[in-house]
Amino acid sequence: MTNDTAETDETEASTAKRLVEGWHGRYYEDFEVGDVYKHPFGRTVTETDNVWMTNVTMNLNPMHFNEAYAAETEFGERLVDGTFVIALAVGMSVIDVSVNATANLGYDDIRHHSPVFHGDTIFAESEVLSKRELESRDHVGIVETELRAYNQHGDLVLSLERTPMVLKREHADPSAAEPPGWPEGIGTQPDETTDGTGSDD
């Protein structure tokens, strides 16, 4: 004999509609000196990335766009524009470090340790070096991180220090209905969910 009531309850539970919070990024309180965040996903650099970056920024060094020229150098092929590598590594770190930043105060001690070529896959991680509160702004704090990027062979290709000014949690007031970057009233709203609360509690 089957339990029809139990099956009905399971069906209703599986069709319940809830707003569940995703990753909202770290707030000032979440950073601890010495923590290392290995940023998700690697990114393979393509020839298109390099050509576009070189053209858009008017970088006229033939090492980036002239294969015949580059073939005669010590590297034997074109190098990926270093500013693209910086932009890529910084972008990869945003999900963990600066989703909730109100400003980036500086990029310091930038070093290119190894060349990057078309087809290399870049991975990045950030280490928290320091954090401090501000007397002039009680809604944010300053976090200093070291960003390191590696290729698929484990070679360090880039390091830099960056200093974002990051919101404190109480001033951000994140929610499932209005995560970072979403205007109020867009998409699924709490009153459209089964419990009407917009939370997974």
Residue whose structure tokens are 């991975």:
123
Helix, coil or strand: residue 108: strand
Helix, coil or strand: residue 100: coil
Q: What is the CATH number of the domain that holds 163?
A: 3.10.129.10
Residue 188 domain-assigned (yes or no): no
The whole-number pLDDT of residue 165 equals 97
Q: What's the CA gap between 155 and 113, in Å, rounded? A: 8
Domain count, the chain: 1
Residue 110 domain-assigned (yes or no): yes
Residue 63 domain-assigned (yes or no): yes
Residue 123 domain-assigned (yes or no): yes
Q: What's the CA gap between 63 and 80, in Å, rounded? A: 9
Query: What residues make up the domain containing 153?
Result: 23-172
Q: What's the CA gap between 85 and 81, in Å, rounded? A: 7
pLDDT of 200 strictly over 70 = no
Residue 10 domain-assigned (yes or no): no
Residue 163 domain-assigned (yes or no): yes
Q: What is the pTM of this model?
A: 0.85
The whole-number pLDDT of residue 11 equals 54
Centre a 10 Å sphere on the Cβ of residue 5 and count the other Cβ atoms it contains.
8
pLDDT tens digits, one per residue of 12-47? 556 788 888 888 899 999 999 999 999 999 999 999
Residue 199 domain-assigned (yes or no): no
**Mean pLDDT of all residues in 94-98:** 96
